[in-house]
Structure formats: structure tokens, C-alpha cells
Chain A
Amino acid sequence: MERTFGETLLRVDHISLSFGGVKALTDISFSIREKEVFAIIGPNGAGKTSMLNVINGFYHPQEGEITYKGVHRKQMKSHDAAVQGIARTFQNVALFKGMSTLDNIMTGRIIRMKRNMFWQAMYLGPARKEEMENREVVEDIIDFLEIQAIRRTPVGRLPYGLQKRVELGRALAMEPDLLLLDEPMAGMNIEEKQDMCRFILDVNDQYGTTIALIEHDMGVVMDISDRVVVLDYGKKLADGSPDEVRANQDVIDAYLGVPH
């Protein structure tokens, strides 16, 4: 089936980022279209996570421009990014460990809850109704991710694979337009990977969420992505469909090495 995409949702132009003398990203440009599954791949230290951090405003690039939903910016601010519909997960799982699965996912609703402090403090009237409505959204997500059994468990106790799933749930609770996934399948076994792939594709399919992901498992990347960009040493090597990228000589060299 032919997949159709919308307009460009996010475009980065000539982004360069350095920490002191270390150049993390050099002159990176690409664009992500609405509704596509976009993958950023590359060897370790290629700058993939830095790229995600630039997109959601954790890092501020020295040069370049970010265009999100048609608005040009020199840099994103993390709070703006969240409010504007950019959600993310982290390579090393950044959950609120002492809180239950339910509470963790509820934090994703904070920016969607509008009632002011006063009503909140009283926990009555409109605020109470709002809490209920948001709770329903979260319950739907819990059903979707098939984690009903662990709703009340503090996430610090969960195995790694489930933690990654909860983290995805928290990001989904924000009802994002753009979902950034930093190695969503790292450290998982085959079954967990298959589940995660299914969730990612379902999110993309059911909610029309645009997804940008970093992943090391080439089989997975090539299967689920519509487009792939390859980074190496902070520079862009290639950009295109999985098949084009697979055939690109620079990419093969970067991954397999070149004979000297």
C-alpha cells in the first residue's frame, strides 16, 4: 500500500552544534513530513541523540535554523517544544522512578490541564472534572500499550522493557504531533522489539503521529521507516528511502569500514 504524507512538519537547516572544541553536529539539514516514520541512524557517537536534543530544545545549536509548523526559530526551548506538541523518550529511560505507572503517564497530561492553581488546590469543581477527563485519556493509553497489570506499580520496580513502554505512554499522553524516540528498542529481546514496533506503527497509523526515531537495529529501521537519514561524526552521509540508503556506498563504508 502506498503511504501518503502531508506537508513538512519540521525542517532543520544547516544546524551546527559544538561543545567547546568538540563538534557534535556540522551543517545538518533534513526535513520531516507529517505522518511519516523518520529514522536517524549512524554509528556510536555520530550525533544522533544530540540531534534529538536540538529538536526538543535541550541543546541550543550555534548555527542554523529550525522550522517547526512553519515557524522559523534559531533554537527551540524545551517547554515550548512540549507545549507545541513535541514529545520524546530517552535512551536511558528517564521516568519518575518513585511514582506509579499511572502517575508517570499522568505527568504527560500536565500541559493539557488548564485549570488554575486555585481550583487545583481545592480539588473540586472544574479541576476535579478535568482530572477525571485526563484520567480517561491515560486509561486509554494504558489499554493501548497493554500495561493494565502494572498501573499501580512504582516504575522503578519494572523490568527495563516495560519501563520503555511506560515512557512511550507518557510521551503519548501529551498527544504529540511529533514523537521523538531515542533508541526505543535498545536492550530488548526479540518479542519486546516486535511489540514495540507494533506500538510505533499503530501510533503512527491510528493517531497520525509523526515519528522520528533513533535505532541501532538495522532490520527494524529498514522495516518500519519511510525515510532514513544517516549521520557519521556529526555530518550527514545520506538521506532517502531505506532502499536508497542501503545501497549508498558512503553508508556501507561508515558501517563496515573501508580497507586501507
Chain B
Amino acid sequence: MFQAFFVDPFIMIYDAPLFFVEVLVSGLMAGVMYSLVALGFVIIFKASGVFNLAQGAMVLFAALTFVGLWELGVNPWLSLIISALVMIGFAFTVERIVLRPLVNQDPIIFFMATLGISYFLDGFGQTIWGGEVRPLDIGIPNEPFMDLADMTGLYINKFDVFSAVVCSLLVAILAGFFTKTKIGRALRAVADDHQAALSVGIPLKTIWTIVWSVAGIVGLAAGILWGSKLGVQFALALIAFKALPVLILGGFTSIPGAIIGGLIIGSGEKIAEVYWGEAMGGAIEDWFAYVVALIFLLFRPQGLFGEKIIERV
């Protein structure tokens, strides 16, 4: 027992360091994809203090719209733009119909509202585009770089690298957009106290529309990347739950947190699966992330980068 947990795995790592690097890299790449989904949550959480249960449904809906349009014969770039516009239109609708009447309500009310949005969007998307699994091929081959493999013996997947680049770009743009400036400050203000935010003239409606639009577009990117891995199907909506441990780890309000959290969870679960999987009876990849999240909740409930929780009594 001791041998299997504390000795063998390290001997394996020591014996085949190249293989360890491969596992680590593929884990990190998967982590980037988690980060992308988590990012959608963070953006909305920052501006409303609410965990948006509909984020998964938004990922699915955006991906379905993209694939659906493409299958109808629309040029893929055009479908991408139309899908983004659809997500922005969706943001306007949500702000007008759902959020605006709820100004100044408790976060739990918003939370329940997002649950409603989630159910609606799941059904609506599948009513329009159908419920079957759709393959999605965006033209990035799912194969390793052969040159690199020949030279060093390291197998790195092209698609993984592509998605990592897309994610990094999105993250860089968003981080610039949401930190250090008046927008970032306005977002935090809105999340903290609606009435006070209104009293200093922060336009609540505009802020909400912006964050839901951005979350929708991030969802589109996540949907396309995950969709080309798994096929566009209902399961995409469930990927949202993989983002939950990422958020607990990184902190719900932090964009860098979502990234680092995703990387830790992604690489952690791959390494755990490969090296400790056998000792634990296999398939630990499925629950590893949640256990890490639980441990974090015990010791650092605000996450690695979350805002300190302050309550004066």
C-alpha cells in the first residue's frame, strides 16, 4: 500500500521523465480548456456576485448555433460572427427580461433566475437545432507535431496547442479589459451594491449587457473548442460543472485565478490518473478535481486569488 502510493509513482516519473512531461503538457492543455469555461463564470460573477448556472447552457447554445449555421452552408467565418452577434442579442434579452426587474434583490434570487435561463436555453437551442450529436471539424488536426516527436521523442498535440493559444489570447484581452480601469472598478461596484452603484452613476444596464455579451462570446469559444473535441452535444452543458472546482481553486472573482485554477486542476487530474490511478482503482480523473476543491474550501474558501471575505460584527 505504502509502496504503491508513495514510492512507485515517483520511480515511474524518474524512470521516464519525457513521458511525465507529456502527461503534464496534455494536462495543462486540458486545463486551459477548463479555464475558458471558468472564465465565463468569473466575468458574470464579478459583475453580479452570482454564480451563473446558465453558463453551460450558453456554451452549448453558442456551439449549436455555430455548427447549425455552418451546416446550413454559411461560410464558417460568417457563422462565427453571426453566432457572436446572437450571443450579444441574447445578453440584451437577458438584461431586459430577467435582470432589470431584479435590481436590488438578493443574490439567491439572481441565482435562481440563472437556473431558469439555463433550462430555457437548453430546450430552446435543441428545439431549433435538434438534439443529435454533431461532429465539428474546424480544420486543426488532432495529432502530434511529428517533427518535434522525431527530434525529441516528445508528443505534443497540435489541437491542444491551438486551443491553448486561443485561450491565452482571450485571457490577455479580457484581463486588460477588466482590471485596473474604471470598468473593472465599476464591475466590482455593481457586484457589491446595486443601489450604491446607481447613486454614483454607474449604468447598471450597460454593465450587465456588456458582461453577459462577453460571457456569451467566451462561451462560444469554449463551445467550439470543446465541440471539436467531443462533438457538439448536450454533454457540453455539463462541462460547466468541471469549471466549478476550477473556480473554487482560483477564486470566483479573479481572471488570473480562473487560468491558474484551470491549469492546476487539468494537470493535477492527468498526473493523478496516470501515476496514482492504478493504486486507487482507476478512473480518479472524474472526481479528483472535486476533492481538491473540497480541500481548498476547508483551508482557503476565497480561493487562491479571490477577494478576502470580510465581515464586521
Is A88 within 8 A of B199, CB to CB?
yes
In the complex, residue of chain B having the shortest beta-carbon distance to the beta carbon of A134: B182
Report the minimum CB–CB distance from B196 to chain A (whole Å): 4
Interface of A, secondary structure class, is helix
In the complex, residue of chain A having the shortest beta-carbon distance to the beta carbon of B173: A121
Q: Which B residues lie within 8 Å of A108 (CB)?
A: 200
Is B198 within 8 A of A79, CB to CB?
yes
Contact of B177 with A by CB under 8 A: yes
Contact of B165 with A by CB under 8 A: no
Q: Which B residues lie within 8 Å of A99 (CB)?
A: 185, 188-189, 192
Most chain B CB atoms below 10 A, which of A78, A103, A109, A127: A78
A154-B182 contact in complex given A170-B200, A174-B200, C-beta closer than 8 Å: no
Q: Which A residues lie within 8 Å of B176 (CB)?
A: 121-123
Q: A95 vs B192: C-alpha distance in the bound complex, in angstroms?
A: 8
Q: Which B residues between 173 and 195 are near A, CB-CB below 8 angstroms?
A: 173, 176-177, 180-183, 185-186, 188-189, 192-193, 195
In the complex, residue of chain A having the shortest beta-carbon distance to the beta carbon of B104: A58
Is B200 within 8 A of A110, CB to CB?
yes
Q: Which A residues between 73 and 100 are near B, CB-CB below 8 angstroms?
A: 78-79, 81-83, 87-88, 90, 94-99
Is A107 within 8 A of B185, CB to CB?
yes
Is A90 within 8 A of B195, CB to CB?
yes
Q: A96 vs B185: C-alpha distance in the bound complex, in angstroms?
A: 10
Q: A243 vs B183: C-alpha distance in the bound complex, in angstroms?
A: 48
Contact of A106 with B by CB under 8 A: yes
Q: Which B residues between 129 and 186 are near A, CB-CB below 8 angstroms?
A: 173, 176-177, 180-183, 185-186
Contact of A117 with B by CB under 8 A: yes
In the complex, residue of chain A having the shortest beta-carbon distance to the beta carbon of B186: A110
CB < 8 Å neighbour of A87 from B182, B186, B192, B199: B199
Contact of A56 with B by CB under 8 A: yes
Q: Which B residues lie within 8 Å of A83 (CB)?
A: 201
In this complex, how many residues of chain A approach chain B with their Cβ under 8 Å: the count is: 37
Most chain A CB atoms below 10 A, which of B181, B185, B189, B204: B181
Is B199 within 8 A of A121, CB to CB?
no
A98-B181 contact in complex given A110-B200, A123-B176, C-beta closer than 8 Å: no
Q: Which B residues lie within 8 Å of A109 (CB)?
A: 182
Report the minimum CB–CB distance from A53 to chain B (whole Å): 9
Contact of A70 with B by CB under 8 A: no
Is B188 within 8 A of A98, CB to CB?
yes
A98-B185 contact in complex given A58-B195, A110-B202, C-beta closer than 8 Å: no
Q: Which B residues lie within 8 Å of A90 (CB)?
A: 195-196, 199
Contact of A156 with B by CB under 8 A: yes
Contact of B15 with A by CB under 8 A: no
Is B183 within 8 A of A117, CB to CB?
yes
Report the minimum CB–CB distance from A125 to chain B (whole Å): 12
Q: A154 vs B186: C-alpha distance in the bound complex, in angstroms?
A: 16
Interface residues as binary, A51-68 with B (CB distance below 8 Å gives 1, 0 otherwise): 000001010000000000
Q: A106 vs B197: C-alpha distance in the bound complex, in angstroms?
A: 12
Q: A88 vs B198: C-alpha distance in the bound complex, in angstroms?
A: 10
A154-B310 contact in complex given A88-B199, A96-B188, A96-B192, C-beta closer than 8 Å: yes
A97-B310 contact in complex given A110-B186, A117-B183, A120-B183, C-beta closer than 8 Å: yes
5 shortest interchain CB distances as A-B pairs:
A82-B201, A94-B196, A156-B310, A111-B201, A96-B192
A-B contacts, 7 listed (Cβ < 8 Å): A87-B200, A90-B196, A95-B196, A96-B196, A99-B185, A121-B181, A123-B180
